[in-house]
Structure 1
Amino acid sequence: MSDHDITYSAVMTVHDITRPTVLLTGPTSGIGVGMLRALLRHPARPTALDQARAAGLTAYGVSVDLADLSSVQAALAEVRALIEAGTIAPLDAALLNAGAQFTDRRRTGVQGHELTFTVNVIAQHLLVTGLEPVLAPTGHVVVMGSSTHRGKNASFNLVPDPQWQTPELLATADAAEAPTEAKGRERGGIAYASSKLALVTAAHVWAERLAATGRRLNTYDPGLTVRTGLVRDMSAFRYWVWRWIMPVMALHPKATTARITGRHAVELALCDTFADLNGAYIEIGVLTRAEQVTYEPERQRELMTWLDEAIAPFVSATDQRHPQEA
């Protein structure tokens, strides 16, 4: 994902009220494609919208740039408008799949925060906050965790250990260029692992907040998912190795494919599995537990206070109400 990439969200529904309305971010590549295909149970078509329509669904594409909180705000308003107009029903499930990893830590989002942290944490917080009012009464949100939050040993040493800092420092990009390309990649890996540690920490609080209104939120950790576009920011050779050599790693029990991840995540989102859980951590389809540090109350309070302040300019009073109350 580059500085100017646009992520697409697909909102899918049908006129049969027994069928769910689902929002999926990042449905055009990698794990998102696996999720979309699992949702549709239909052969691939050229675009997400074509796939959904071919499966007999009504699909709405909403463009959103997760590097720009104003874009996230506009996308949320578009989804809310569809629901308030009766065009689609309130969301039964939201799969917040889209994320990013970069080969350095020098880039920033539109609002000036470090880009990895913007996409993987701040934008996700705005999405969860803004989606709550448009969720169905028993709506379910699934966010994407990562084994990288546990440290490099959990990611086959492919990603460095996360480095926890204050939220302000996590959101501050490196001012100076790394002395070598390898050091730059390391800084980018640290930024990714740290952002996932922050996301998993925030997810516990998101689940508590949603539970207050009868909704649920769980975290899905896909493990090492080979042949996705997550690392396409690296050099052409390294990306080629990732796409065409690394898939053999899918044979490892701690690795998987986009197809399997998509199936497991959709089953979780639509309550086919773990239907009664809230605030849980599901890893490659198995109920596990996030790292203990993510449950530390003081760390959670510090992070959520900062995130609430960061998104405050992009959250309207309307975002705080369920559409049925509008």
Structure 2
Amino acid sequence: MHPPRTNPSRTALITGATQGLGRGIALALAARGDTVLLHGRDRARLDAVAQEIRTVAPQATVRTYLADLADLDQVRAFARQVRAAEPRLDALVNNAVAGGGSDPLRRELSAQGHELRFAVNHLAPYVLIRALLPLLTASAPARVVNVASMGQEALDLDDLMLEQEYEGLRAYCRSKLALIMATFELAAELDGTGVTVNTLHPAHLMDTAGVRAYGLTPAVPVEEGVRPTVRLVVDPELATVTGRYFDRFTDTRAHEQAYDTEVRRKLMARTEAWVGGFVGVG
């Protein structure tokens, strides 16, 4: 049993923190006086957000980490850097995303040859969680928040990388369902360790670069997604809640396939096979 936190300050790592929802989450946590660890793949944008946070929230501590999550070698190196530099990690927010793309019929690949959306939205968060588990467990109680989407489409176990009938939004929706399934599996595995794992749809069609790139019209400001995501990081009433999918603030059900334990087992077996050489503390 892990005691409740007595110090309200925490150290939180946010992936994809240089724009959109990730930047908003980082700003909100920094305003609380937390230590925020910003991840991005562009050094100039990463430094700009870090400076912005230092200006508007001088009481917060900010550190930055550079990595391209489309390369699992970089994901693992990123995790090693965090473990070496950070004395604790109270929260990990997997927010970085590959959206539907500006050319949705063009199937892109990651550095390891995986379909890009599946790699960035599912494989990279899974590798990062696995590699940071020693630090998260040592810091318990700790929380993992996986930013998913209400856009979910059933996985085809015979074509997880969508080599047939490819379309970017379809790939995105399948990758987000895979992330939700991994959330449920990890939450069950980590039950009792003091590390909770939850996932959410933060808001519908936020005003982000990814939404606009696909050609969709934003419906709500980014702030609408920041509040429910930050709640999963900080709300004391959720301290022991794990393995749940939230639609904004509502604990609800994800796509029905997410509750098919046989599909989840097969997905995770394939996931482990794909990333096995990248997972671990080495």
Q: Which residue of 2 aligns with 1:96?
A: 94
CA-CA distance at 1:295 after TM superposition: 1.3
- 3-state SS of paired residue (1:170): coil
TM-score (norm 1): 0.73
Q: In structure 2, what is the Cα distance between the partners aligned to 1:209 and 1:53?
A: 37
Q: Which residue of 1 aligns with 2:187?
A: 207
1:22-53 deviation line (CA, Å, top 9, x unaligned): 100111111112212211239xx982211333
Aligned-partner residue type, residue 306 of structure 1: R
Q: Tell me whether 1:291 sits opposite 2:255 in the alignment.
A: yes
Q: Which residue of 2 aligns with 1:254?
A: none
Is contact 2:206-2:224 (8 Å) kept? no
Pairs aligned (count): 257
Is contact 1:94-1:140 (8 Å) kept? yes
CA-CA distance at 1:290 after TM superposition: 1.7
- 3-state SS of paired residue (2:155): coil
Q: Could you tell me which of 265, 280, 289 is aligned with 2:244?
A: 280
Q: Tell me whether 1:196 sits opposite 2:176 in the alignment.
A: yes
Aligned-partner residue type, residue 58 of structure 1: T
- 3-state SS of paired residue (1:147): coil
Q: Tell me whether 1:302 sits opposite 2:282 in the alignment.
A: no
CA-CA distance at 1:286 after TM superposition: 1.7
Q: What is the aligned-residue identity percentage?
A: 33
Mapping 1:62-81, distance limit 5 Å: 62-81=65-84
Over the aligned positions, Cα root-mean-square deviation in angstroms equals 2.3
Structure 1, gaps ≥5 residues long: 1-15, 84-88, 150-161, 179-183, 251-256, 320-326
Is contact 1:221-1:284 (8 Å) kept? yes
Q: In structure 2, what is the Cα distance between the partners aligned to 1:315 and 1:46?
A: 28
- 3-state SS of paired residue (2:92): strand
Q: Tell me whether 1:47 sits opposite 2:48 in the alignment.
A: yes
Q: In structure 1, what is the Cα distance between the partners aligned to 2:272 and 2:262?
A: 15
Q: In structure 2, what is the Cα distance between the partners aligned to 1:199 and 1:285?
A: 19
Is contact 2:154-2:257 (8 Å) kept? no
In structure 2, the CA distance between the partners of 1:69 and 1:267, relative to structure 1 (3 Å rule), is: same
Q: Which residue of 2 aligns with 1:264?
A: 228
Structure 1 stretches of 4+ with a deviation exceeding 6 A read none
In structure 2, the CA distance between the partners of 1:214 and 1:221, relative to structure 1 (3 Å rule), is: same
Q: Which residue of 2 aligns with 1:34?
A: 24
Structure 2, gaps ≥5 residues long: 1-5, 33-45
Greater Rg over alpha carbons, structure: 1
TM-score (norm 2): 0.83
Q: Tell me whether 1:60 sits opposite 2:58 in the alignment.
A: no
Q: In structure 2, what is the Cα distance between the partners aligned to 1:21 and 1:32?
A: 15
Q: Could you tell me which of 187, 197, 200 is aligned with 1:220?
A: 200
Q: In structure 2, what is the Cα distance between the partners aligned to 1:28 and 1:214?
A: 29
